[in-house]
Structure 1
Amino acid sequence: MLSQQELAEEQRLNALHSLGVLDTPQEDRFDRFTRLASAAFGVPIALVSLVDNNRQWFKSGVGFHVCETPRDIAMCSHTVALDELLVVSDTLADERFRDFPYVRGEKGIRFYAGQPLHSLDGQPVGTLCILDLQPRDFGVAERRMLRDLAQMVQDELNRRVVVAARDAAQQALRELNAQLEKRVAERTCELHAKNEALEHEMRQRAAAENALRQKQELLDAVLESVEVAVVACNAQGQLTLFNRAAREFHDLDASSTPAAEWSSHYSLYGEDGVTPLAESEIPLLRALHGERISNAAMTIGVPGRPARHLLASGRPIAGADGEPMGAVVAMQDITELAASRSRIVESEEWLRTIADNVPALIAYIDTDLRYRFANQRYQEWFGVRSEHMVGKTVPEAMGEAFYEPRRAALARCLSGHGSHLEIEEQRRGRTRVISSTYLPHIRDGVVQGIYVLSTDATSAREYERQLHALAHSDHLTGLPNRRSYEERLTQAIARSRRSAMPLALCYLDVDHFKQINDTLGHAVGDAVLREFAKRLSGTVRSTDTVARLAGDEFVIVLEQVGSPLECQRVADKLLEAIRPSFQIDGRTLDVTCSMGFAWCPRPELAALTHAADDALYQSKRAGRNQSSVLVLAACPA
């Protein structure tokens, strides 16, 4: 028997293998994260590691050129075992790792930080880790960034499983719908055939009753041959007819038993097969009292034999002058039909159970836009119980705010065309991006209704937004990065040419920034850059673009600047904003900057940037802590 620890490890390995990622080729969708991690943390090595039974295997890596290592010398194995962020500031000072082959030696690994990656069911299957050849500290912000990057890798790692589960659920739903439609069609045909047979038998019985006046012997032969049980009584309630089918149903022949004892003597029960049939409910006695009976449900429960479920139809018999002569009842065995209905109900229960547990909204809407089916996810996502939705139109059940953005898609589906849309919903204190597919239910070329399948696409969209932010923002200051600046400058130049409004470009450097880094450390330098960026952004207009190019190099794109004199006023405001001392980790620092402005009424990219750079170096040559403005003539279109 496996121990608790062995069982947990087996479950973890099963979750890892079910991802289908081990030993697959290198993929850029993972490589982009290791490249990003290496650049973001300034480390030579970044890995996406998956911890198998006896090895750790690398799905992606930067700066580490082996595919796998034994698990017993894998730092990531410890991270997976702890199932939390593991940071080792100096591996030689940690007795767990100092003897590892990759740690020993002059160029050994001296720093490690790893964040666990989980499967959908929460099993730790690997890590996103970064390594350095020098010991280093790892602050709160860096830990948060590593967790955020690991969450993105984890989402990518589980994507195939999520997509496969969604596709499997959709396929299962389609198969169940097909099976249900087939079963309903088959049962409908069977029921139709049985009803036709019953009507045929009733016509035969009516013909036999009419022939009774002419030939009793013919009637007896017919009644003995039919599979419908026929019983009759005279006006005094004495049984006068009890055909072969009736005898087989009851396992008895007719007797002189008083009508009050028929229920117990002939084992007559109600539709439930449990409640004895009261005398006033026996179909033959009801007919004797003048009632016409049509498809009255009852059960014959003879001890030791399977119960028979019947539909009884009959009427009173009157003489030529209308005098009461008795009553007759025909009983059709519908046991198999009832069993078929039970199987259909059971199939519907299976379908409901599956639909209620699929992580998606599933519904069926008829051509009047009324819900005919809705799974329980509607209650979880919107607080509306499915049983309260059925029979109501979409606006009645979900409200006009829900219906209006879906109106066109529903109308298109009713015209026979499928459609797809994504809508952001705020319900029950949560914002969801709901991705919905609308499929028409078409039979014989006619639309019968609409199948609706909706999934939660919130995580996918958030993931896309995070990737976009990482690609266009500077990680240290939060300002637009070089890529974003170049896009915005190109757009600003185009707007300037269209509107004939001048444009200014300002290049800025922090004076003597290398000295700050060398004497006070990079942490202080980073804090100076963040405060510097904050002051720049707080000084210019919200329509201006402040960006960090690299190191202590910053740039500002200023639109609709009427004259070079206005550039000088902006420069004075910026110098005034930078002049107050910087308070950094208990230190007071006096920071200055040099800036160069290029102003042009009809700007061109290369000329504008070259002029701003020249103006910046002119300020530096003049002694720093000042600004210079270069005016360009209108550049050719």
Structure 2
Amino acid sequence: MQSTPAELADRARELRAAHGLADGSLGAVLLSVVERLEAPFAVKEIGSGRYVHVNMRMAALYGRSPEQLLGHTDADLLGAELAAHLRSADQTALGQSLATSTEHRIERDRIRRDFNVIRVALPTADGGPPRHMCCVWIENTLLHQRDAQLTKALQQLEQQQIAAEALRRETQDQSLRDNITGLYQRVHFDDQLRREVDLSSREHREFALVSIALDPLPDNVRSLGDAARTRVLEALGRLLRGNTRAMDASCRLDEDHFAILLSGVGLATAHSRMEGLRRQCATQIVVLDGRDLGFTVSMGVASFPHTAHTQEELMNAADSALGEAQRRGGNHVTLASIRFDAA
């Protein structure tokens, strides 16, 4: 617990009496400690706010000699705003029985310095109201700079960790995607489909699975070789990605076989969306060496649980519907048959 100035004065007298110390010896020790700390030290007259004693470092803080500083107030030496702030802190300290501490920033010659100012009203010999106040300025500039540097370093480290995690996820995501179409590969799609089946079974909601096949390319496109086929697959990949939401998943199952998982979507809505996608594919302009590469797709749409009750049944239902679309000549969207289980 912090002692009051009066209590400290009593203890100082007790120490002097008990150990035969000279008058003023403890004060001399205090001043030597302040000098050793290289701290600015001053004594102010409470009524006028004028400095009546300063050490060299206090005078240097104001860019003056001790003699030039004596008799002046903070208002004489600093701007009005900072002087008012210091005066307010002095008055607050005067009303306290214990030493107080406040933080202040002094700026001279465009250099900012931060200080923690400890203030204590000095008791008088006659026991009357204090007439002087002692101020010790402890500089915190370097400490604050180190704190700011540490905070900045921690923020940079956090940003680096976030960037590293994003890169890791991006790298992992890229490893799961097909290089040509940008769609997920079979392994990731199977995991997504398994989770969707489990979720829909627990929450009793539906979702749709679309099985898609690239229709045989026209002879004029096939004659252009692998470059034309790659250009068509790239365009199809963009269209599939552009027609799926974040909660959906699109995949390249094998060379010409693709699939889309539509989360929370019923059979009718899925059919409408895929019909729009089919038209986009049929009208998509894909150019290679100045020649338009037309392509179409066939689609089979199944839903869980209306057309299938298990993951395997769902895949088979979508593939069967796709086969029917192909038998109709391609460029067609076919719905899987809805199951009507016996009661």
With normalisation by structure 2, the TM-score equals 0.51
SS of residue paired to 2:161? strand
Give the CA deviation at 1:544: 1.9
For residue 583 of structure 1, what is the amino acid of its counterpart? V
Equivalent in the alignment of 1:411: none
Give the CA deviation at 1:402: 5.8
Does residue 504 (structure 1) correspond to residue 204 (structure 2)? The answer is: no
For residue 296 of structure 2, what is the amino acid of its counterpart? T
Equivalent in the alignment of 1:620: 326
Equivalent in the alignment of 1:600: 304
| 1:84-163 pair list within 5 angstroms | none
Query: 2: distance between equivalents of 1:556 and 1:488?
Result: 11
Q: Deviations over 1:298-340 (max 9, x none)?
A: xxxxxxxxxxxxxxxxxxxxxxxxxxxxxxxxxxxxxxxxxxx
Q: Is the 8 A contact 2:228 2:293 kept in 1?
A: no
Q: Is the 8 A contact 1:600 1:632 kept in 2?
A: no
Query: 2: distance between equivalents of 1:504 and 1:491?
Result: 13
Equivalent in the alignment of 1:177: none
SS of residue paired to 1:568? helix
| 1:298-309 pair list within 5 angstroms | none
For residue 472 of structure 1, what is the amino acid of its counterpart? L
Give the CA deviation at 1:471: 2.6
Does residue 583 (structure 1) correspond to residue 286 (structure 2)? The answer is: yes
Give the CA deviation at 1:517: 6.7
SS of residue paired to 1:554? strand
Q: Is the 8 A contact 2:183 2:251 kept in 1?
A: yes
Equivalent in the alignment of 1:565: 268
Query: 1: distance between equivalents of 2:240 and 2:161?
Result: 36
Q: Is the 8 A contact 1:513 1:552 kept in 2?
A: no
Equivalent in the alignment of 2:241: 537
Query: 2: distance between equivalents of 1:470 and 1:632?
Result: 37
1:481 to 176, 179, 185: 185
2:176 to 466, 469, 472: 472
* CA 424–598 in structure 1, closer or farther in 2 if over 3 Å, else same: farther
Query: 2: distance between equivalents of 1:424 and 1:490?
Result: 37
Query: 1: distance between equivalents of 2:284 and 2:169?
Result: 37
Equivalent in the alignment of 1:337: none
Q: Deviations over 1:431-485 (max 9, x none)?
A: x339xxxxxxxxxxxxxxxxxxxxxxx77x6774465134311111111111111
Does residue 493 (structure 1) correspond to residue 221 (structure 2)? The answer is: no
Q: Is the 8 A contact 1:479 1:546 kept in 2?
A: yes
* CA 621–583 in structure 1, closer or farther in 2 if over 3 Å, else same: same
* CA 397–529 in structure 1, closer or farther in 2 if over 3 Å, else same: closer
Give the CA deviation at 1:392: 5.0
Query: 1: distance between equivalents of 2:332 and 2:273?
Result: 12
Query: 2: distance between equivalents of 1:496 and 1:515?
Result: 44
Q: Is the 8 A contact 2:197 2:310 kept in 1?
A: yes
RMSD: 3.2
Give the CA deviation at 1:621: 1.1
**Higher deviation after alignment, 504-513 or 544-553:** 544-553
Runs of 5+ in structure 1 lacking a partner? 1-387, 406-422, 427-431, 435-457
| 1:167-246 pair list within 5 angstroms | none
Q: Deviations over 1:518-555 (max 9, x none)?
A: 42211110110111111222234343211111212111
* CA 397–566 in structure 1, closer or farther in 2 if over 3 Å, else same: closer
Query: 1: distance between equivalents of 2:220 and 2:263?
Result: 33
Give the CA deviation at 1:628: 1.1
Q: Deviations over 1:317-370 (max 9, x none)?
A: xxxxxxxxxxxxxxxxxxxxxxxxxxxxxxxxxxxxxxxxxxxxxxxxxxxxxx
For residue 589 of structure 1, what is the amino acid of its counterpart? L
Query: What is the count of residue pairs matched by the alignment?
Result: 199
- Structure number with the higher strand fraction is 1
The answer to which structure, 1 or 2, has the higher relative contact order (CA under 8 A, 6+ apart) is 2
Query: 2: distance between equivalents of 1:389 and 1:500?
Result: 63
Runs of 5+ in structure 2 lacking a partner? 1-139
Q: Is the 8 A contact 2:286 2:294 kept in 1?
A: no
Q: Is the 8 A contact 1:567 1:629 kept in 2?
A: no
Q: Is the 8 A contact 2:207 2:262 kept in 1?
A: yes
Q: Is the 8 A contact 1:505 1:597 kept in 2?
A: yes
Query: 1: distance between equivalents of 2:337 and 2:141?
Result: 69
Give the CA deviation at 1:578: 1.1
Query: 2: distance between equivalents of 1:601 and 1:497?
Result: 8
Q: Is the 8 A contact 2:185 2:251 kept in 1?
A: yes
Does residue 433 (structure 1) correspond to residue 161 (structure 2)? The answer is: yes
For residue 433 of structure 1, what is the amino acid of its counterpart? Q
* CA 470–537 in structure 1, closer or farther in 2 if over 3 Å, else same: closer
Does residue 574 (structure 1) correspond to residue 277 (structure 2)? The answer is: yes
Query: 1: distance between equivalents of 2:233 and 2:215?
Result: 12
With normalisation by structure 1, the TM-score equals 0.28
Query: 1: distance between equivalents of 2:219 and 2:157?
Result: 50
Query: 2: distance between equivalents of 1:494 and 1:507?
Result: 20
Q: Is the 8 A contact 1:507 1:595 kept in 2?
A: yes
* CA 596–607 in structure 1, closer or farther in 2 if over 3 Å, else same: same
Q: After the TM superposition, which segments of 4 or more aligned residues of structure 1 sit over 6 Å from their partners?
A: none
Query: 1: distance between equivalents of 2:340 and 2:148?
Result: 63
Does residue 526 (structure 1) correspond to residue 278 (structure 2)? The answer is: no
Give the CA deviation at 1:582: 2.6
Give the CA deviation at 1:615: 0.8
Q: Deviations over 1:91-110 (max 9, x none)?
A: xxxxxxxxxxxxxxxxxxxx
For residue 161 of structure 2, what is the amino acid of its counterpart? V
Q: Deviations over 1:283-304 (max 9, x none)?
A: xxxxxxxxxxxxxxxxxxxxxx
Query: 1: distance between equivalents of 2:158 and 2:320?
Result: 52
Equivalent in the alignment of 2:150: 398
For residue 495 of structure 1, what is the amino acid of its counterpart? L
